[in-house]
């Protein structure tokens, strides 16, 4: 109950953290070129918002233009399905098909009250979204302008002897998040371009909106790519038929193979990789707790936690990030030494845990 009430605050802050990981390299680059940091923050945020609004406007226009063609092709596909049901091996009668259609209509009419009440809550939902967007923007400005100072302030609650190690772990965790977000954007762009180009060549309606959907879905590893690819294949099946859908499915599978075996190992690297089981469990937990946004935030937060924990428990915190980069994500996080079979022997000493005093 408490988590659900705090969701409207936690989710925007987490989204702002992701956005800061994406924009902070640009802000740092501009600051190194002599631009004041406050100006760099404003320019990066305004530029990103302008780019986002432009892309969304273009996609929506393409969607509106493609809806008539999609409707016509969908109507033709429904007619073909009806002909197959009546003239094919199933030998359904027209009365049976009409009865099934009438039952669907009656079901919609019987739930009209629920649909209406859902429409009435649209204004409240829009209000919550605007509030969340403003909170994301407000938090993002502070993260970009003084994120390190915020982290130093929060880490003051840690005992002095452990403060240096905790601050280092936090910095390394944010570094992993920066790498994760940057690589995920690149992977999502390749997925969207590959699948969108294939759909356009096949003549599937709404190829650009579907490519945009693939781009968004790629931010949820494993699950998102599969679901958005399935939607693209389904649209190809409904509008172009079985053969075109098979070709679209082959294109989706080929792009997913390139992503899984080439792009992710090359771009993400070992520093931000986690075990596939941890990915699936994290996504499931995030969806249960916060819906689609929770699934989007789950994996990067787990990647940050993975890096932070390894840094905190490493013998030498200065070399922790290099150890993470060289680690295999399929291996245990903290394997026992060959001559130390007992877990008790793997505990760090008090000095190793605390680190030097700051």
Residues 269-313: tens digit of each pLDDT: 554 567 777 777 888 888 888 777 888 888 888 888 888 888 888
Dist. CA 192–CA 188, nearest whole Å: 6
Residue 347 is assigned to a structural domain of this protein: no
Tokens standing for residue 106: 């009656």
**Residue % of the chain over a pLDDT of 70:** 67
Residue 253 is assigned to a structural domain of this protein: yes
Q: Smallest Cα–Cα separation from 206: which of 232, 237, 184?
A: 232
Dist. CA 69–CA 162, nearest whole Å: 63
CB atoms within 10 A of CB 91: 9
Q: Supply φ then ψ for residue 351, to 5 degrees.
A: -70, -35
pTM: 0.69
Dist. CA 274–CA 272, nearest whole Å: 7
**Residue % of the chain over a pLDDT of 90:** 17
> In this structure, are 243 and 114 located in the same domain?
no
> In this structure, are 152 and 185 located in the same domain?
no
Could you give the C-alpha distances from 155 to 15, 164, 314, 321, in angstroms and in order?
21, 9, 19, 20
Contact 299/221 with Cβ under 8 angstroms? yes
Residue 345 is assigned to a structural domain of this protein: no
What is the 8-class DSSP label of residue 318? G
pLDDT-derived band of residue 319, with 50, 70 and 90 as boundaries?
A: low
- The total domain count for the chain is 2
> In this structure, are 43 and 182 located in the same domain?
no
Residue span of the structural domain in which 12 resides = 1-157
332 versus 83: which is more confidently predicted?
A: 83
> In this structure, are 255 and 180 located in the same domain?
yes
Residue 343 is assigned to a structural domain of this protein: no
Dist. CA 343–CA 337, nearest whole Å: 10
Dist. CA 233–CA 244, nearest whole Å: 9
> pLDDT for 27-39, tens place per residue?
999 999 999 999 9
> In this structure, are 188 and 149 located in the same domain?
no
> In this structure, are 177 and 287 located in the same domain?
yes
Contacts of 57 (CB under 8 A, 6+ apart): none
Q: How far from the centroid of its chain's Cα atoms is residue 352's Cα?
A: 36
Q: Smallest Cα–Cα separation from 233: which of 214, 261, 218, 216?
A: 214
Residue found under tokens 């709404």: 206
Query: Of 105, 138, 157, which closes a domain?
Result: 157
CB atoms within 10 A of CB 315: 10
Could you give the C-alpha distances from 214 to 128, 132, 211, 262, 350, in angstroms and in order?
26, 24, 5, 18, 48
> In this structure, are 185 and 212 located in the same domain?
yes
161 versus 104: which is more confidently predicted?
A: 161
pLDDT-derived band of residue 336, with 50, 70 and 90 as boundaries?
A: very low
Residue 255 is assigned to a structural domain of this protein: yes
> In this structure, are 44 and 188 located in the same domain?
no
Residue 226 is assigned to a structural domain of this protein: yes
Which of the residue ranges 40-54, 105-119, 329-343 would you say has the lowest mean pLDDT?
A: 329-343
3-state secondary structure of 242: helix
Dist. CA 193–CA 208, nearest whole Å: 9
> In this structure, are 143 and 209 located in the same domain?
no
Tokens standing for residue 308: 């932070």
Residue 337 is assigned to a structural domain of this protein: no
Q: Calculate Rg over the CA atoms of the chain.
A: 25
Residue found under tokens 């027209």: 94
> In this structure, are 130 and 231 located in the same domain?
no
DSSP letters along 179-226, please? Answer: HHHHHHHHHHHHHHHHHHHHHHHHT-TTHHHHHHHHHHHTTSTTHHHH
Q: Supply φ then ψ for residue 220, to 5 degrees.
A: -105, 100
Average pLDDT over residues 302-327: 70
Average pLDDT over residues 72-87: 66
Tokens standing for residue 305: 């936690």
What is the 8-class DSSP label of residue 347? P
Residue 323 is assigned to a structural domain of this protein: yes
Average pLDDT over residues 102-128: 58
> pLDDT for 225-249, tens place per residue?
788 888 889 888 888 878 888 999 9
Tokens standing for residue 177: 């998040």
3-state secondary structure of 342: coil
> In this structure, are 270 and 176 located in the same domain?
yes
> In this structure, are 215 and 147 located in the same domain?
no
């Amino acid at each position: 109950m408490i988590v659900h009430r705090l969701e409207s605050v936690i989710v925007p802050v987490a989204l702002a953290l992701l956005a800061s990981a994406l924009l902070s390299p640009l802000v740092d680059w501009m600051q190194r070129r002599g631009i004041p940091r406050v100006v760099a923050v404003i320019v990066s945020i305004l530029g990103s918002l302008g780019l986002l609004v432009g892309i969304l406007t273009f996609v929506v226009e393409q969607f509106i233009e493609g809806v008539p063609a999609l409707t016509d092709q969908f109507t033709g596909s429904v007619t073909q399905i009806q002909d197959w049901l009546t003239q094919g091996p199933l030998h359904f009668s027209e009365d049976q098909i009409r009865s099934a259609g009438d039952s669907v209509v009656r079901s919609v009419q019987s739930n009209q009250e629920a649909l209406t009440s859902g429409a009435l809550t649209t204004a409240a939902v829009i209000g919550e979204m605007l509030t969340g967007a403003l909170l994301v923007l407000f938090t993002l400005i502070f993260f970009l302008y003084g994120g390190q100072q915020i982290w130093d302030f929060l880490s003051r609650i840690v005992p002095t002897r452990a403060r240096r190690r905790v601050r280092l772990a936090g910095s390394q965790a944010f570094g992993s998040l920066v790498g994760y977000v940057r690589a995920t954007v690149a992977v999502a762009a390749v997925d969207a371009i590959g699948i969108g180009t294939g759909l356009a060549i096949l003549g599937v309606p709404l190829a650009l909106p579907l490519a945009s959907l693939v781009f968004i879905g790629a931010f949820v590893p494993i699950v998102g790519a599969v679901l958005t690819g399935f939607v693209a294949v389904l649209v190809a099946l409904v509008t172009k038929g079985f053969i075109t859908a098979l070709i679209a499915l082959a294109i989706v599978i080929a792009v997913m193979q390139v992503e899984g075996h080439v792009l992710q190992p090359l771009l993400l690297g070992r520093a931000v990789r986690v075990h596939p089981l941890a990915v699936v469990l994290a996504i499931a937990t995030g969806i249960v707790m916060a819906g689609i946004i929770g699934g989007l935030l789950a994996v990067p937060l787990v990647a940050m936690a993975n890096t932070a924990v390894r840094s905190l428990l490493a013998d030498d915190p200065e070399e922790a990030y290099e150890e993470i980069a060289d680690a295999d994500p399929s291996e245990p996080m903290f394997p026992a030494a060959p001559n130390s079979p007992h877990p008790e022997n793997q505990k760090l000493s008090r000095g190793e845990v605390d680190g030097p005093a700051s």
